[in-house]
């Protein structure tokens, strides 16, 4: 709510976006009473903060802050700014110039922030997981294991072991575990697999699909539409198994997604044939 409030400079768009957000959160499981209690708090913070365009008193001294990377001659720079203060005031009015030195990130900080660098690599035995392992990650239970094989319209697709549910800019695969277990005869194709793309982290994309598993929005997600039409008694995202298939540059996502859809024919015999509402 704070993000919605801060990114809107007009009251009408701010309130409209808050209503949309509250509706989405309510469908995701939040209670109406909690949302109604939090909304005034978010708005009060916006209205109590000084507006960036508020007129300043003529006799009030404004300030300008120049953040710079640390270097040895910063004291001399600050001294120079102090000596030129009179000239600056004649040009800009009563203005206080502040030079703020920011510390560069050290190698130690980068290593500590990247936990994978600190891990001792072991021999891969086919059991690596695409689960991030986060204690509160709701996507982990839906992710496949590295080395798993998807059977899609008579073809096999191996799940890589170098991605997980925190990977972004990727192509992903979702397969209905119920339809995949059905044995078909006469070489018929199963409509059980979906290929998609996402710029955001994979677990956020899964949450986007999850939010559409309700009777109001199921037509906005191909996965929710499939579950609603074919498995109404198990209308839940947990009937699907997900895997990150490939990560690539954002500009190549459309081409890579189309390549997988065409290769495995999921636009004709798969969930990609579903027409969803936009």
Average pLDDT value for residue range 208-232: 93
The predicted-structure confidence for 107-119, as pLDDT tens digits, reads as follows: 655 555 554 444 4
Percentage of the residues of the chain whose pLDDT score is greater than 90: 42
**278 or 49, which is more confident?**
278
User: In terms of residue numbers, what domain contains 188?
Assistant: 140-273
How sure is the predictor about 159, in pLDDT bands with cuts at 50, 70 and 90?
Answer: very high
Its pTM surpasses 0.75? no
Domain-embedded: residue 127:
no
Domain-embedded: residue 81:
yes
Q: What is the pLDDT of residue 111?
A: 57
Do the strands 155-158 and 170-176 form a parallel or antiparallel pair, or are they unpaired? unpaired
Domain-embedded: residue 235:
yes
Q: Mean of the per-residue pLDDT values for the chain?
A: 83
Closest CA to 139 of 195, 199, 211: 211
Least confident range of 42-56, 72-86, 200-214: 42-56
Number of folded domains that form the chain: 3
Q: What is the pLDDT of residue 49?
A: 52
The predicted-structure confidence for 66-107, as pLDDT tens digits, reads as follows: 888 878 888 888 888 888 888 888 787 788 888 887 766 666
Q: Is residue 258 domain-shared with residue 223, that is, in the same domain? A: yes
Q: Is residue 94 domain-shared with residue 176, that is, in the same domain? A: no
Q: Is residue 247 domain-shared with residue 151, that is, in the same domain? A: yes
In whole angstroms, give the CA distance from residue 268 to residue 274. 9
Q: What is the pLDDT of residue 174?
A: 96
Q: Is residue 37 domain-shared with residue 67, that is, in the same domain? A: no
């Amino acid at each position: 709510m704070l993000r919605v409030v801060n990114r809107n400079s007009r009251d009408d768009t701010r309130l409209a976006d808050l209503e949309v957000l509250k509706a989405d959160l309510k469908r995701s499981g939040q209670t109406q009473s909690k949302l109604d209690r939090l909304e005034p708090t978010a708005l009060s913070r916006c209205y109590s903060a000084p507006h960036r365009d508020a007129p300043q008193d003529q006799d009030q001294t404004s300030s300008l802050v120049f953040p710079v990377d640390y270097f040895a001659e910063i004291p001399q720079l600050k001294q120079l700014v102090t000596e030129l203060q009179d000239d600056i005031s004649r040009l800009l009015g009563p203005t206080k110039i502040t030079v703020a030195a920011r510390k560069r990130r050290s190698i130690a900080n980068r290593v500590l922030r990247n936990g994978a660098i600190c891990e001792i690599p072991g021999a891969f035995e086919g059991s690596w997981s695409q689960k991030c392992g986060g204690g509160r990650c709701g996507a982990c239970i839906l992710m496949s294991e590295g080395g798993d094989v998807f059977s899609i319209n008579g073809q096999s697709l191996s799940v890589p072991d170098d991605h997980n549910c925190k990977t972004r800019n990727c192509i992903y695969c979702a397969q209905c575990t119920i339809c995949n277990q059905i044995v078909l005869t006469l070489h018929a194709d199963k409509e059980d697999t979906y290929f998609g793309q996402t710029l955001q982290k994979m677990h956020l994309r899964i949450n986007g699909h999850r939010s559409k598993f309700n009777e109001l929005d199921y037509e906005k997600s191909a996965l929710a539409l499939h579950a609603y039409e074919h498995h109404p008694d198990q209308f839940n995202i947990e009937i699907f198994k997900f895997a990150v298939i490939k990560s690539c540059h954002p500009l190549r996502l459309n081409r890579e997604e189309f390549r997988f859809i065409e290769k495995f024919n999921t636009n004709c015999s798969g969930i990609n044939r579903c027409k969803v509402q936009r």
